[in-house]
Each structure stands twice: as structure tokens, then as C-alpha cells.
Structure 1
Amino acid sequence: MATQYSDTYDVVVAGSGVGGLSAAITAAERGARVLVLEKLDKLGGVTALSSGVLWPGPNPLSESLGFEDTVEEAQAYMNTISRGLAKENLKLGYLATSREAIHYFTEKIGVELQVIRGVPDYYYPSVQGSKVEGRFLESKPFPGKRLGKWADKVLTSPYGPSFSYVTGTEWAASQTGQGNIVECLQRHVQEDERCGGAGLSAALVYAALQRNVEFRTSTALADLIVEGGRVAGVLVEPVTSSSGGTATTNGTANGNGNHEKAVRLQARQGVIMAMGGYDWRKDLMQAFDGLKDSSTMVPPTITGDHIVMASKVGAIPIPARLPGQSPIFVGYRVPGEVIFGHPSSRLLLAGAPHSIIVNRQGRRFANDGFYPHVVEQVTRYGSQMTHMPHWPAWLVFDQSMLDKYGLAPTYPGQPLPEGLAIQADSIKELAERTGIDPAGLSETVERYNGFCETATDPDFGRGTFPWSALMVGDYRLKNPNMAELTRAPFYAIQLVHVSLGAGTAGLQTDEHGRVLTVLGTPIPGLFAAGNSTAWQDWGGGYSSGVAGMRGMMYGYRAALHMTADGSPKL
């Protein structure tokens, strides 16, 4: 007996981040009737909470400004970062498809992007093929008023206006004394000019609305419907969700709910899953990332539904980024702050002057002026594989850091939220209160302060990466990432693992975004994009802008394949 559908679409997209919106726009531009489902009550997904950066490698926008770059140089950079773990055909296709997608969305769709000026590659100049500028793109400030009645339906960051109302170019300029970030922030907020990920999300939602894409917020993709051996539709159900609270469904993605209010929708040309990662599934975080306890900055709607549903039609998630830098970062919990209805955490971009990061022995163990090195080391097991020698870890700093630079959610000169840090009048007392080895911490601080006199770090090379010097350093110092810890009181915060929606594992896909079975064959009618997919093209590497670019390019490619001739596609 044929399935009875409440409505028929050509393409159904689950998720409204950059991957889902790029797919929806491309399919609609080619004449498809498109529906986007979003579990949260607002559009934009994790993209709207992010920096919104794109890393396409060589691209027409940078070339128009005179930046010289080649595919060979970008490929050399990717080869080093991927550590040999990338899938060859996808790695080779990343740069070509990224370039094609950037051209399509700027020239055909009208999304206004710009080069982030003054920002180098993460690993410049130490990695072959890295560039000092020109590889990072972002949305131009997008006026919220252009969205009309949809303006309040597109997410901006609940972590503060600086996340949604400052461009990367403005931040970089302010970090070198060439601009006033406060004035930029005030201007954008007053005009509701959205920047970063919020700006990119707003621009993509606007483009989708212009092409008659339909949206259903507070709606979950609860299950896939298979007919004739292909994914032919979806079961969707309402969600009790709020961008300020939790999200629950009447049923569940594993099929154990009653689905009393669920409806069936036909998807003639296919379904695209672009639902983010699995941050709120503690069992999956432990299984894929080896973490029993972690925190996240993403909405509680990011629950790995794509993994559950795709597994029922023959797909399995693969951990495509181990070994290598984990996409799970470090940060700290903020007592008393509630975001998305839950106690909040904040990401730490290590490297502020007057601060160091130490292990329980009180020893530095990484270039703590460059967060990727810290992340690598805190997730590394010891030689006997029985423990992580550098975890737990602590951020240790003095009053000068607070006064000069602040620590989110507080601004420079403001006191920290009560309970955030342990405080003491001496380094020895601080160690005793935290459980850090007092002798080790005292020796480490004394040694580090000696390095600050010459502005060099012979132990770990702190301050040698221009990216980190720019993003978290102080240009007025000889070494932007180094200054001594001498001014009491002293503080310590125990770090936690913090995820941002980009998990280690994801669904295996081909160059068209088709979800593959464990045997490597496409599942007819099922596609994926964004953080729902495994990072097979970047293997074990990570850089800002890659997650967003992968979302855009695979959403674009999936939609092209699905709508090639208007008929159902494998």
C-alpha cells in the first residue's frame, strides 16, 4: 500500500545552517519546490552562532583584490593539515568545488561576501603553501530589516552582541590599532547590521525566501520514509523548542515515540540531512570523541538525529578526523549564566598575555599561545594509554590580564562571575587551592616570566604563529602573546572540553553529497551536508572556515545532483 502524504515537495532539507540553506537555495533556483525543517524556533543553526568564516582556498574575490594564490599551494597546505588521512578524490575536489560554489552564490544568487583583510592562515608561515592573507571570506554586514517579518526568526548569538555584530575584518583591524571595535559594534547593533555567522545566515535565509523556499521552524525530522528501495519522504513532527530553552518532540528519531502529531511529506528528488553534529548526545560524544564529560555552546537541538536515521537505511558514521587535531576545543563553564535553557560554557582561544595553561603538575605542556596545540595535547594519551597526562588542565592568569583584556562574558576591568575562578594572593597559595603541584607551578611561572623579559619562548615557541598573535595577542608588546604573571591576585580556572557542533564523526558521503552505506554504495534519495558529514576531504586537520565552506559546497553539490533533470536521483 502506497504511503499517504500530507504534502509533496521536490526536496526536503533538515537543518537551516549554511549546508541546509545552500542546498535549499540551489535546488529552488533550479525550479524545485523546497522545504527546510528546523528543530529550533529560529533559523540559522550552528552557523548563526559561529564566526561565519569560509576557507575556499584560491577564490575569485581574493583574486580581484590582487592576492596571488594557486591550487598547488593550497593543496600543499591541505596535505600537511590533513596528515595523510583525507580521501583522495574528495580532497582534490574540495578546492575546485569551493571555488565554483563561491562564484555561484556571489554572482548567481547575490550573496555578498568579502575577504577578511589582514588574517593569515592558521599555520602561516610554518606550513608549506600557507598564505599571509586572502584565504578567509565572510559575509558583508547584512541589514536585518531586509528580512522584514522574518528578521526575528533568524538567530543571532545569545553569547553577546560581539559574536553577531562585528566583522572579522573589523576585529583584525582593531587588534592592530587600526580601528575601534566598540564603535563598530555600536554602529552595527544600532542598525541591526548582522555580521559573522549571523550575517551569513541572514543573507542565505533572505536568498531562500526570494526563491520561495518554505520553512518550518520548531519542526523535527523524525524519520525517513523508504519506498521502492529509496528514501522517498520524511516523517516530521512538531517540537516544543525555544532559542532560550530546551527542545522536546512528541516522538523521537529512533521511532519509539507515538508520533500522534507527526505528518508524512513526500520528497520526490531526495532528502538532505544538514542537522549539525551530536553535541547533546553524551553517549555519542563518548563513543566518537572519547569524552565522558564535555560541554557545548550549541542549541540542545543538536542531538545526532542524522546518525540515528541514516543508520536505519544502511549508513554508519565514520570518525574521519582521528588522529589529528580534535574538533572538540577547550573552554570553561560560567556559573550562573544560562543559555538555551542550560548552564553555559565559553570557548577559550588561548594566548592572551599574562596567562598560561598548565597540567596537574603545574607544567606548561604546549604552545599555549596557539589553541590548536593545546587541543592536541589535552586529548593525547600517555605512553601506557591509561590516562591523559595533560588533563585536567588549568588556565592560570593574573589581575593584569583581567584589567587589560577581560575574560568572556566579562569585559576588561570587570570582575569575573562568582565561582568562575579560584583566586589567591600568591602562586603557591593558588596551587594549593586548586590541587595543582605548588612547586611545579611556582617553577613554571618563574621560568615563563623570565622568558617574557626577552619575549621569546624556547620551550614551546609561544607567539610564533601570526594568526594567534593577531586574534588574541596585544600588538603593543614585543611578543603579542607574552607578558609576565606578577600582579596579584592570581587566578586559575579548570578547563573543560567544549564542542561547537563539529564532531569527530559524521556520515560518509561522495563528491555529490550522497550518503553511502557501509559498503560504499549510495543510499538512493539520501544526501548530507555540513557537520552531519565526515571530514573525509580534510582528514585529520582543522581550520576556521573549513566547516562553513564544506557546508556550502556540499549543500550546493547535492542540490545540483538532485535536480539535474527533475527526476528522482540516486
Structure 2
Amino acid sequence: MPASAFTHPAPVEVDLIVVGSGGGAMTGALLAQRAGLSVVVLERTDRVGGTSAYSGGACWLPGSAVQQRAGIADSTEGARTYLEAVLQPDDGWTPDGAKVEAFLAHAPVVVAELEAAGIDFEWLPFPEYYDAPGRCPMGRSIQPTSIKRAALPRDVAAVVRPPVERDRVGEEGRNTLTGGQALIARLAAAFLGAGGQICTGHTVRDLLTETDVSGDKVVGVWALTEHGAVEVRARRGVLLGSGGFEGSEARRDSHDTPGRVEWSMAPRGTNRGEPISAALDAGAAVDWTGLGWFCPGLEQPDGGGSFTLGFRSGLMVDGSGRRYGNESLPYDQFGRLMAADPARIPSWFVFDSREGGRLPGIAMPEGDPAAHLEAGTWVRADTLEELAEQTGVPASALVTSVARFNGFCATGVDEDFGRGSDEYDTFFTAGEGPNKALTGVEQAPFYAARFVLSDLGTKGGVVTDTSGRALRPDGSAVPRLYACGNAAAPMTGPYYPGPGAPLGTAMVFASLAVRDLVD
């Protein structure tokens, strides 16, 4: 590894500055370095990976050799059919067919590029999120293979952000890095091995621009460090891969983004949106209509939220004690149900003691049940009436909701919301009744866990073209400025097609940006 791998301060000038260190940013950095450019990654925190490192590492990259080797029924044509069915005009948003085609054409290419750089992938069984034409049975997402910490360069092993359940309590990562940690670790190791530089503790707040006969062009950035502001210049361009604005309450409020900073799954103290604002100041257009990648969030005793999915039993009720949706929906879709009505935030997830008082679902982090009970984020009671009193919901409504739900569990048919009718609904479940997604609330004592609206990041960002170039409101490009991931307006708009769509689209458009830079 080069001695300058973690340079401080940053170099004075390079070919490409990459802002942020998530999956899209690091993909762009690695591919640019391998293409012969000099690249520096500027990361605001002392860890690399951002929200990508917290993720399961799924990458929605259709039609690659990885799926072909796994023998699954995936293809570019099938993915095109699926996206055409899923990405429908909605609330002022219209899909950009050219960007969709660019994504589909380049997804297999970026996988091949990364595999050539030594990044190993495997197919991950995980159902896609919509029952639509072109859907691939058990999904088409891929993920990086796990890697032992000892197999990584020491500097990389020390700087990759730990899993969320460890990071939030100040613990280091595990000896085996999986999912998002494996993705970031592999990308960072390959990037540094190719001669790239990563500078932590650099918060990019402004872009440097110069004016010539063609107008303003981006020539670098200003970054704040513990030693003051530094100027870093870019001969070829700047790629924003810095996440969204989920960490800024003021920006969330100004763009009417549901949820709160403390409920977001972004690493705390990050993703405050300064690079997006800097792009706006440089003349870029911004689209805020995507809102966010949402999920139900198990509220933690400290007020934070936890990414939650895969409920095995139990039901969710709103403040009136009534059920309002299929709890087994893909998490973004259920999150949007929560956001649709203020009475649903907070909600209460009601379950029984069949799993020994543990939440019958997957929450990252779940937290200690005893701590939840002490803080009141969970309550426990011997009867549903007592549970209602502790949660503040009407007892008669809660008792009626549970009785109706239990009746559906007995018959195997959710007459209200169809829980268990889709392959995603049953992916995480193992119930023994006529519908394995429907397991009743019958065994006292009973529990209720408070849920808020969490997100995996916001979606509003810089408007870009098929090459990841930042566009002005008139459709012309801002010279030398590129964006990917949550710093860019999403190709998928308000939709979340399948596991790894945020990472997959970020990686593809980062790679396309590099191609434009190199050409």
C-alpha cells in the first residue's frame, strides 16, 4: 500500500476529487484510478463507507455474469420489462427512459469492471419488491463475498465503518466483514492498492469554479478539516457521492421530507447535504420529489430508529389501535404507508411471548428488550386491555384489531391487506399455520414496540444525465461536475425496485461518470 494512502492534509491537485466514501463513490474512485487518473477521496468522518457500510451489501445490477454463473432467470431484457412496469409517473415525477437504458446497458459492464479489479460477487437470494412483469423469482441482486479482517491491509481494516449495531455503541467491527462492510473494504483496498488516496476528516462545503468562454466550470473544492479550510483542485472533475441530506433537520423541513434526523439510518453526524447545496450554488438543478428510501424504524431508548423488516408474527397498529397495512410489505412500501398519515407515527407493533419476549422480526439494531421496557419504547402486559392503556391507544379498537388478525391467522387469508400472498411476504417467515406469514398474537404476556419512520437516506439531489453529469435547469451540463447515489436525483424516483437498488444505481452512474471523464 502506498505510504500516502491516508494523506493529511489532502493533495493540492489531482485529476478527480470524489466526495464521500460509500459504494458509489468508492466504485467511481477505484475505476478512475485504474483508468490512469490520480484520485483523492474526501470523507468527512474518520471512517469510510457511510450508510453503504451499514447495508446488507445487496447490489441491484441486472444481467451480469454473476447471475449467469448462478443459473438464475435474470437478463437485461427481463429487468427492462420489470422497470417499465414499476417506474410509473407519480406525483410530478416522470421516469427518464434514457437513464434507465443507460443503467441497464452498463450494469453488467460495471460488474465486469469490478470483478477485473478483484472485487468478488455472488448471487443473493432476496425477492424483488414488486409483483410485476419481469420480476426475477427470488431476486436478481448480487453481493460482495465476505472477507476476513486479517486478509485486508491494516489501514483499511481499521477505517471501514463497523456494522450499525456496533458503530452506535462505539464498538469495532467483526473479524469477518460481510455485506456492506465487505463491499467497502474490498473497494477501498483495491483503490489504495492502485495508488489512490483517502483523506478522512474532510467536510466538503463549497465547490471551486472558474469562468472561461464556455461559462463556469468546477475546478475543485473547499473542505473543512480540524486544521482549518483547505483547497483541493481537480484537473478533470469532481464526483459527488456524499449521500443525501438526511442528517439535516433544516433541509428535511425545507423539502417536506418525512421523518427525523435521529430516526435515519445514516451514520450520526453525517449526510447533511452541504455538497448538494454547493452544486446548487454552482448552477446545478436539483429534484426533491423522490423524498427518501423509507422503512419502519424500531424506536430505540436513545430516541434513534432501527431499520426493521421481516416480521414473523404480530401486527402493526396506528394511534387509533387499527391495522393499516400488510406488515410483510417491502420496508420502503410500508414506510410510505406510515408517512401517509400522521396518526401512524408513532405506530405500535403488537406481539406475544412466543419468542421469549424478543421482537419477532429483524431490527438493526434491535437493542436490549430490558432497556426498551425500562425506557418505555416497549411495553408489556398480561392482557391486551392493559397493553392498550400503556400505549395510549383505545382498548376496544386494539382488542378488535388483534381478534380480527388472529382470525386471519386461523384461516390463512388476510382479508384486509393480503399478507402472505407474495413471495416477499413469506421470505423471512416460518409460521406453522395455513399461511406461514400469519402467526397470531395469543400467548401472554403481550408486548407492544413503538415504531417511527426511519430511512436509509433521502432521495433529493442533483439532476444528472446518462453520464452522471450535473445538469443546469436548462438541461446543459455543469462542466466537470458529476453526482451519484443519494447526492443525485434517483433514477427510480419514488420507487424502490429491489434489494440493492440504491447501491446498484450509484455504482453504475459513478462508473459512467468516470467514462465521461476519461474520454
Could you tell me the TM-score, scaled by structure 1's length?
0.81
| 1:137 positional shift | 0.3
| AA aligned opposite 1:367 | N
- Is the 8 Å Cα contact of residues 219 and 235 (structure 2) preserved in structure 1? yes
| Structure 2 residue 264 is matched with structure 1 residue 301 | no
CA distance in 1, matches of 2:273, 2:163: 22
Q: CA deviation at 1:402?
A: 4.5
Give how far 1:193 is off.
Answer: 2.3
Query: What is the CA deviation profile of residues 286-313 of structure 1, one whole-angstrom value per residue up to 9, with x for unaligned ones?
Result: 2334436451121212111122111111
Q: Is 1:121 the counterpart of 2:81 in the alignment?
A: no
1:223 counterpart residue number:
206
Q: 1:6 & 1:194 partners in 2: Cα distance?
A: 30
Give the secondary structure class of the aligned counterpart of 1:335: coil
In the other structure, the counterpart of 2:390 is: 433
Give the Cα separation in 1 of the matches to 2:109 and 2:259. Answer: 41
Find the aligned partners of 1:359 and 1:320 in 2 and give their Cα distance: 26
Deviating more after overlay: 93-102 vs 197-206:
93-102
Residues 453 and 512 (structure 1), Cα distance of their counterparts in 2 relative to 1, 3 Å cut: same
Distance of 1:413 and 1:523 partners within structure 2:
51
Q: Distance in 1 between matches of 2:178 and 2:394?
A: 44
Give the structure 2 partner of residue 347 of structure 1.
Answer: 307
Counterpart of 1:450 in structure 2 is 407
Query: Could you report, residue by residue, the CA deviation over 1:433-453 in whole angstroms, capped at 9, with x for unpaired residues?
Result: 222122111111111111111
Q: Does the CA contact (< 8 Å) of 2:128 and 2:499 recur in 1?
A: no
Q: Residue 224 of structure 1: SS of its match in structure 2? A: strand
Q: How far 1:423 sits from its partner (Å)?
A: 2.2
Q: Following superposition of structure 1 onto structure 2, how do residues 372-451 of structure 1 map, counting pairs within 5 Å?
A: 372-380=332-340, 388=342, 390-403=344-357, 408=363, 409=365, 416=372, 418-419=374-375, 420-451=377-408
Q: How do residues 182-221 of structure 1 correspond to structure 2 at under 5 angstroms?
A: 189=174, 192-221=175-204
Shift, 1:393, TM fit: 2.1
Query: Among residues 474, 484, 489, which one is paired with 1:529 in the alignment?
Result: 484
Q: Secondary structure at the match of 1:67?
A: coil
1:406 Cα deviation (Å)? 5.2
1:376 Cα deviation after fit: 2.7
Does residue 73 of the first structure (1) align with residue 32 of the second (2)? Answer: no
Letter in 2 for 1:236: A
Structure 1 distance, partners of 2:293, 2:480, is 29
Q: What is the CA-CA distance between 1:543 and the residue it aligns to?
A: 2.8
Aligned residue for 2:220? 233
3-state SS in 2 of match to 1:159: helix
SS of the residue 1:399 aligns to: coil
Contact 1:334 1:345 in 2 (8 A): yes
Match of 1:95 among 104, 123, 139: 104
**Partner residue, 2:3:** none
Higher mean alpha-carbon deviation, 308-317 vs 64-73, is at: 64-73
**1:141-180 mapped onto 2 (5 Å cutoff):** 141-150=146-155, 151-160=157-166
* Distance in 2, Cα, partners of 1:550 & 1:274: 12
Equivalent residue number for residue 328 of structure 2: 369
Aligned to 1:179: none
Deviation by residue 1:99-118 (Cα, 9 ceiling, x = unmatched): 11111111x212100101x4
Aligned position for 1:492: 448
Letter in 1 for 2:311: G
Paired AA for residue 361 in structure 1:
S
Please list every run of 5 or more consecutive structure 1 residues that lacks an aligned counterpart in the other structure.
162-187, 240-259, 337-342, 382-387, 565-570
Q: For the Cα contact (< 8 Å) 2:144–2:183, is it kept in 1?
A: yes
Q: Distance in 1 between matches of 2:280 and 2:371?
A: 48
Q: CA deviation at 1:401?
A: 4.2
Q: Give CA-to-partner distance per residue, 1:186-212, whole Å, 9 cap, x none.
A: xx94xx221100000001001101110
Return the offset for 1:88: 1.4
CA contact (8 A) 1:275 1:305 kept: no
Using the alignment, how far apart are the partners of 2:11 and 2:196 within structure 1?
18
The 1:403/1:476 distance shift into structure 2, 3 A limit, reads farther
**Unmatched 5+ stretches in structure 2:** 1-9, 168-172
**Alignment pair present for 1:318 and 2:287:** yes
| Count of residues in correspondence between the two structures | 490
Aligned position for 1:21: 26
Q: What is the distance in 1 between the residues matched to 2:11 and 2:68?
A: 48
* Structure 2 residue identity aligned to 1:452: C
Distance change >3 Å, CA 298–CA 441, structure 1 → 2? same
- Return the alpha-carbon distance in structure 2 between the equivalents of residues 275 and 449 of structure 1: 46
Q: Residue 88 of structure 2 aligns with which residue?
A: 83
Aligned to 1:516: 471
Question: Which one of 458, 462, 467 corresponds to residue 507 of structure 1?
Answer: 462
Kindly tell me: are residues 411 and 435 of structure 1, through their superposed partners in 2, closer, same or farther at Cα, counting changes over 3 Å? closer
User: How far apart are 1:391 and its partner, in Å?
Assistant: 4.2
How well do the aligned residues superpose, as a CA RMSD in angstroms?
2.4
Shift of 1:504: 3.0
Which amino acid in structure 2 is aligned with residue 329 of structure 1? C
Shift of 1:51: 0.9
Residue among 247, 261, 278 paired with 1:280: 247
Other-structure match for 2:318: 359
Number of the residue aligned with 2:6: none
* Counterpart residue number, 1:333: 299
SS at match of 1:400: coil
Secondary structure of 2:299's aligned partner: strand
Check the 8 A contact 1:223/1:234 in 2, yes or no: yes
Match of 2:7 in 1: none
Q: Is the 8 A contact 2:121 2:142 kept in 1?
A: yes
- Decide whether the 8 Å contact of 1:362 with 1:437 is kept in 2: yes
Q: Check conservation: 1:88, 1:537, Cα contact below 8 A.
A: no
Paired residue secondary structure (2:326): coil
* Structure 1 residue 403, shift from structure 2 partner: 4.2
Tell me if the contact between 1:82 and 1:541 (Cα under 8 Å) persists in the aligned partners.
no
Q: Tell me the CA shift for residue 373 of structure 1.
A: 4.0
In 1: Cα distance, 2:185 partner to 2:425 partner: 28
Which whole-Å CA distance do the structure 2 matches of 1:59 and 1:134 have between them?
A: 13
Tell me if the contact between 2:205 and 2:275 (Cα under 8 Å) persists in the aligned partners: no
| Distance in 2 between residues matched to 1:538 and 1:100, nearest whole Å | 23
Q: What letter matches 1:50 in structure 2?
A: S
Contact 1:317 1:505 in 2 (8 A): yes
Per-residue CA deviation, residues 374-404 of structure 1 (Å, 9 max, x unaligned), is: 22322225xxxxxx45444221112224446
Runs of 4+ with deviation above 3 angstroms: 388-392, 401-417, 475-478, 537-542
Task: Give the corresponding residue for 1:47.
Answer: 52
